[in-house]
Amino acid sequence: MDEDFIPVSRRGILAGGVATATIATAPASAQDSPQDRPPPSATTRLKVNGRTMTLTVDTRTTLLDALREHAHLTGAKKGCDHGQCGACTVLVAGRRINSCLTLAAMHDGDEITTIEGLGRPDDLHPLQAAFVAHDSYQCGYCTPGQICSAAGMLAELKAGVPSHVSADLDDPRATADEVRERMSGNICRCGAYSNIIEAISEVGGIKA
C-alpha cells in the first residue's frame, strides 16, 4: 500500500501517551485527579489528497485542526470553529463538509480533498483559475472554502440534488440563484459574492 507515514509528533506523545492502540491513555499517577490525566488520543488513518497519512491526535481534535496543525495543510481556514462561516470547507468522499464540525477520529479511512489537492499555483484547478480571472476574492481567507464548496456544490447540482430554491425538486435547474442559495454557507466578508458567482457560473456552464 502506498502510504506516507507521518511519525507521531512530540505533541502526540505528550498528549496521548503511546500511540499504538486506537484509544490510548497514559496511566495516571496516584496524586492526580481524573481531570489531570492526559486525554485519550486516537489513531486515525486519512487519505488526504491521494496520500495516506496516519495521525495520532487528541480525540477532541477536529478534522480541521488535524489537517492544519498536524498534517500542516493550512489551506483550509479556521474562521469561526463553529460551522457558521464555511472557511474550513473540505471534501470528504467528494461531499462538502465543515471540517471544524467533525472530529478527526470520525474519519478513519476517509478520502479527503483539501484546496491543496484541487490544484497548485503552477497547476490551477479550473475553479481556482476562474477565481483569479474574475477577482472572486479579496483577503483570500474564505477563498479555499469557497472553492472547495463550489466543487462539491457543482457535483451536487449535476447529481440532481435539489435545494430550497429549486422550483422542481426532481429536476433542479443550474441557475445563478441556485448557486447563490447553495453557496450561502460560505461567508465572504470582503463581499466578493458577485464575482464568485461569475467564476462558478463560468466553470459550471451556468448562465450568470
Partner 1 sequence: MKFDSPATTNPIDRLKVVGKPIDRIDGKLKTTGTAPYAYERNDVAPNAAYGYILGASIAKGRITSLDVSAAKRAPGVIAVVTYQNAGKLAKAKAHTARLLAGPEVQHFDQAVAIVVAETFEQARDASRRIKVRYAATKGAYDLAVAIKTAQKPAPNPDAGADKPDTAVGDFAGAFAKASVQLDETYTTPDQCHAMMEPHATTAAWEGDKLTVWTSNQMIAWAVRDLTETLLIPKENVRVISPYIGGGFGSKLWIRADALAAILGARAAGRPVKVALARTQIFNNTTHRPATIQRIRIGCGPDGRIAAIGHESWSGDLPGGGPETAANQTRLLYAGENRMTAHRLAVLDLPEGNAMRAPGEAPGLMALEIAMDELAEKLKIDPVELRIRNDVQYDPEAGPKRPFSHRDLIGCLRTGAQRFGWDKRSATPGRVRDGRWLVGLGMAAAFRNNISMTSAARVGIDRKGVVTVATDMTDIGTGSYTVIAQTAAEMMGVDVEKVVVLLGDSSFPASSGSGGQWGGNSASSGVYAACVKLREALARKAGFDPATAVFDDGKIRSGNKSATLAELAGDAGLSAEDTIEFEGLDKAYAQSTFGAHFVEAGVDAQTGEIRVRRMGGAFAAGRILNPKSARSQVIGAMTMGVGAALMEEAVVDKRYGCFINHDMAGYEVPVHADIPHQDVVFLDEVDDKSSPLKAKGVGELGICGVGAAVANAVYNACGVRVREYPITLDKILAGWAKV
To partner 1, the closest distance from the beta carbon of 116 in angstroms equals 6
The reply on whether position 51 binds partner 1 by CB under 8 A is: no
* Interface pick for partner 1 out of 45, 54, 79, 110 (rule CB under 8 A): 79
Measured distance CA(126)–CA(129) in Å, rounded: 5
Number of residues that bind partner 1 (CB under 8 A): 73
Using CB under 8 A as the binding rule, whether residue 143 contacts partner 1 is answered as: yes
- Computed over its alpha carbons, how large is the radius of gyration of the chain? 20
Shortest approach of partner 1 to residue 3 CB, angstroms?
A: 22
Compute the residue count for the chain: 208
**131 lies in the site for partner 1, by CB under 8 A:** yes
100 closest CA partner among 69, 64, 74? 64
Q: b/e for 14-44, b at 16 or more Cβ within 10 A? A: ebbbebeeeebebeeeeeeeeeeebebbbbb
The answer to the question of residue 187 lying near partner 1 (CB under 8 A) is yes
Out of 42, 55, 63, 76, point to the residue binding partner 1 (CB under 8 A). 76
As measured in angstroms, the least distance from the Cβ of 39 to partner 1 is 6
